Amino acid sequence: MQYAIIILTIDNLSTVFSTIVKGLWLFMKITIFLVDMNSFFISCEGTRHPEITGKPAAVAGDPKNRTGIILTSNYEARKFGVKTAMVVHEALRLCPDLILIPPDHRFYGQKSREVMEILSDFTPVIEQNSIDEAWLDMTGCEGIFGKPAESAIKIMERLKNELGLWCSIGISENKFLAKMASDMKKPLGITELWKEDIALKLWPLPVRSMYGVGKQTAKKLQSIGIMTIGDLARINEDILSRNLGKSGMEFHRLANGVDNSPVITHSHDDVKSISRSVTLAEDITDFEKAKIVLLRLSDEISTNARRHGKKGRTVQISIKYADFESITRQTTVPETFLSQEIYTAAHELLKKIWNTDLPVRLLGVSLTGFSKADHSAEATQLSLFNLPEIHSSLETSVNTENIIKQDLLEGTIDELRQKYGASMIKRAVLMKKQE
């Protein structure tokens, strides 16, 4: 037998080798965490409005605005029955003392980055699922941080102490079970849900509470008599695939605790486009007002693009008229991430396509066409206008100088905002009257 192993072709050798590696992998128990920030938006607000602690409060759109719904409520407010997506006036009926705070997504984005920063101290393999939750592949980290439950406590403590934010952590051997586990105990819960526990802990739950099952899917499942996750796990696969097709099979696997999807680290290079859009507080027909909106959106895109170090060649705008008809148009520009240039292109497009007889309810701008690999730092095409002989003799060099100045200016604005917050410096046209 030992001799047989020695007489191997190269091909076989690599197969054998990979089998050994897989074997080792099996010995190492896969450990996945899902870290879910508890009532994230309102908790973020709590860090800068300490006066709301212990009182019912919620982040909500302006009640006068059509986006006037509850985005997140704190646990005190939830006691009154205030829920996410509830219309503001209904929430106030349930809880008249509810403190309402308008959303500041830039601030939450900033906090979210700080959360991810801390999480990345525990493992490099992080998949951010949304602004307030992420999967962490903690496989093989036992030697460094101790048993899963112990490292989960360390994560929770650090988030609480350093950022003042609460989280729940689900621990399991795959992404699905980790996610289900994190929902089981909130706030400040650490829940382990291993495959051998599912019959007891997972199966009694209603299907609607399963990750990935929405209102419509739940309805369909209930119509064929599936009420709990356990029903889903035990039902004949054929019936499922007949009624729900491929996704039915996937739900069946998940209900049985099987999920082989890996934790995928999103890298900054994956950015294909950066877009921002806004549903306006009221429909507009005034071009001057639209220009201000475009300017604000261009500003945001530009900041984001600079953070990713990406320059785009395509500027696209989308408009949705009051009758919900949408149009998008794009144009090509010299590579840029400058707010001024994105705005100029967006403005030109809007001028061309907007039929101002029709009121607009939504405006969006996006920047795409990023070069595949950003070699800008390593390879730069030199220009005649940068040669000292020409530079001095050309009045057009003013143009390039302007771009360089604009670049410096916008970079500085970024730094200021990074340090003192987004409202530190604003364009005059974006200032509200009372300011």
The residues annotated with a catalytic role in the active site are 133
Nearer to another protein, 7 or 384 (CB): 384
Q: Cα separations (Å) of 17 from 28, 290, 292?
A: 17, 62, 62
Give exposure, 15-41, as e/b (b: 16+ Cβ within 10 Å): eeeeeeeeeeeeeeeebbbbbbbbbbb
Distance of alpha carbon 109 from alpha carbon 132, whole angstroms: 9
Q: Are 99 and 57 in contact (CB under 8 A)?
A: yes
Task: Find the shortest distance in angstroms from Cβ 407 to another protein.
Answer: 17
Task: Tell me how far, at minimum, the Cβ of 340 lies from another protein, in Å.
Answer: 15
Nearest CA among 196, 176, 193, 173 for reference residue 250: 176
Q: How far is the CB of 308 from another protein (least distance, A)?
A: 16
Q: Which residues make up the interface to another protein (CB under 8 A)?
A: 334, 371-373, 375-385, 387, 389-390, 393-394, 396, 399
Return d(Cα 104, Cα 107) in angstroms, integer: 5
CB closer to another protein, 216 vs 381: 381
Taking the least distance from each CB to another protein, the nearer of 6 and 379 is 379
Q: How far is the CB of 335 from another protein (least distance, A)?
A: 8
In the complex, the smallest distance separating the C-beta of residue 367 from another protein, rounded to whole angstroms, is 16
Among candidate residues 164, 162, 167, the one with its CA nearest the CA of residue 152 = 167
Residue closer to another protein by CB (options 285, 399) is 399
Kindly tell me which of 85 and 373 has the beta carbon lying closer to another protein.
Answer: 373
Spatial separation of the C-alpha atoms in residues 212 and 176, rounded to whole Å? 9
Query: The tokens 């054929």 sit on which residue?
Result: 238
Measured at the CA of 394, the angle between CA 391 and CA 395, to 5 degrees, comes to 125
DSSP class of residue 197? G
Q: What is the strand order of the sheet 273-284 is part of?
A: 273-284, 360-370, 312-321, 326-336
Fill in the amino acid letter for 177.
L
What's the closest the beta carbon of residue 396 comes to another protein, in angstroms?
Answer: 5
Distance, C-alpha 294 to centroid of its chain: 23
What's the start-to-end Cα distance of the chain, in Å?
84
Cβ 339 to another protein, closest distance in Å?
20
Residue 242 tokens, joined: 């007949």
Q: What's the rounded Cα separation, in Å, for the pair 220 and 404?
A: 59
**Closer residue to another protein (CB): 30 or 394:** 394
- Cα distances (Å, whole numbers) of residue 336 to 277, 404, 422: 19, 12, 22
Instruction: Give the three-state DSSP class for 303.
Output: helix
Cβ contact 182:170 at 8 Å: yes
Nearer to another protein, 322 or 394 (CB): 394
